[in-house]
Structure 1
Amino acid sequence: MKSSLTKTVLALSAALGAGLIAAPAFANADLAQKKNCMACHAVDKKLVGPAYKDVAAKYAKDKAAVATLSTKIIKGGSGVWGPVPMPANSQVSEAEAKQLATWILSVK
Structure 2
Amino acid sequence: MKKAIHLVMMLAIGFGVSGKVMADEALAKAKNCMACHAVDKKLVGPAYKDVAAKYKGDAGAVDKLAAKVKAGGKGAWGEIPMPPNNVTPDEAKKLVTWILSQK
TM-score normalized by structure 2? Answer: 0.78
1:69-106 deviation line (CA, Å, top 9, x unaligned): 100100001000001010001x2100000000100000
Aligned length: 88
Distance between the aligned counterparts of 1:55 and 1:87, measured in 2? Answer: 17
SS in 2 for 1:28: helix
Distance between the aligned counterparts of 1:96 and 1:102, measured in 2? Answer: 10
Q: CA RMSD in A?
A: 2.0
Q: Establish whether residue 97 from structure 1 lines up as the match of residue 92 from structure 2.
A: yes
Q: Aligned residue for 1:41?
A: 37
Identity %: 62
Distance between the aligned counterparts of 1:103 and 1:68, measured in 2? Answer: 14
Q: Aligned residue for 2:48?
A: 52
Q: What are structure 2's unaligned runs of at least 5 residues? A: 10-18
Q: What are structure 1's unaligned runs of at least 5 residues? A: 10-23
Q: Which has the larger radius of gyration?
A: 1
Greater than 2 Å deviation, 4+ residue runs: none
Q: More helix per residue: 1 or 2? A: 2
Q: Aligned residue for 2:76?
A: 80
**Residue 28 (structure 1) shift:** 1.9
Distance between the aligned counterparts of 2:55 and 2:37, measured in 1? Answer: 16
**Residue 44 (structure 1) shift:** 0.1
TM-score normalized by structure 1? Answer: 0.75
**Residue 38 (structure 1) shift:** 0.3
